[in-house]
Amino acid sequence: MWPFEGKGVWLLYDPDRLSPEDFMERLERFRETLRPSAVLVGTSFLEGNICERVRILKGTTDLPVILFPGSHYQLCPFYDYVLFLSLLSGRNPEYLIGEHVKAAPQIKRLGLKVIPVAYLLIDGGTYTATEFVSNTKPIPRDKPELILAHVLAARYLGFAAVYLEAGSGAVLSVPTDTVTKVKEEVGLPVIVGGGIRSLQEVDEYHGAGADVVVIGTAVEDGNLKGT
């Protein structure tokens, strides 16, 4: 159910912030140093036609294009995979199962490949768009026992991977020791994102046990340290 091998870096493309052409310019700028293995397409607030932007992106990159969905309205036929996210850290039923029921018939009709992922929002030291839109609170970063209980539940529920997210533009990224504990507890592929601003952090997360590190804002702004 997890289709990727080895350690990876995914670059997050927000269609509300950049055109496909501008994003590809940044991707090429960081390709040699980051060696990205996929493009993650995601936005918390959709403005305009996401499908047209994804179609253009898909036609200009050789990397897999993966939907990081904020809504079933973001589905279209140009993705290689869809992260079928369930926001287990929150208690809003819309993001635990509601959006999934709306999306499932469209996913089947479009013939898209899905990866069931447990999505956990971890406190990143600031109020994020994900927190606002989902109307949920993040798990406190100093409560590893709560995080581990959630990821253990994710394993028992049969998820293929765990996504630990501090949120776009987070002041504090997910603690590396939390990543290590999560990996040791469940052994599932671990995706980490939010507030990552340097190549050193990428290496540290991979060393801590993360399978995928997601970088968004630092690449968008062109200020990734160490490049």
Domain limits, the chain: 8-220
pLDDT per residue as tens digits for the range 99-152: 999 999 999 999 999 999 999 999 999 998 889 989 999 999 999 999 999 999
Class of domain 8-220: alpha beta
Average of pLDDT values for 177-205?
97
pTM to 2 decimal places? 0.97
Report residue 48's pLDDT band, with 50, 70 and 90 as the boundaries. Answer: low
Average of pLDDT values for 42-60?
87
Residue 49 has pLDDT above 90, yes or no: no
pLDDT per residue as tens digits for the range 81-97: 999 999 999 999 999 99
The enclosing H or E element of 81 equals strand 81-87
> Dihedrals φ, ψ of 120, to 5°?
-120, 120
Residue whose structure tokens are 């253990």: 152
Give percent of the chain above pLDDT 90. Answer: 89
Asked if residues 144 and 179 have their Cβ atoms less than 8 Å apart, the reply is no
pLDDT per residue as tens digits for the range 144-173: 999 999 999 999 999 999 999 998 878 999
Give percent of the chain above pLDDT 70. Answer: 99
Write down the pLDDT at residue 226. 87
> Which of the residue ranges 40-49, 58-67, 218-227 would you say has the lowest mean pLDDT?
40-49
Closest to 39 measured CA to CA, from 19, 17, 65, 61: 65
Average of pLDDT values for 64-84?
96
Residue whose structure tokens are 């997360």: 205
Residue 47 has pLDDT above 80, yes or no: no
Report residue 27's pLDDT band, with 50, 70 and 90 as the boundaries. Answer: very high
CA separation for the pair 68, 90 (Å, rounded)? 17
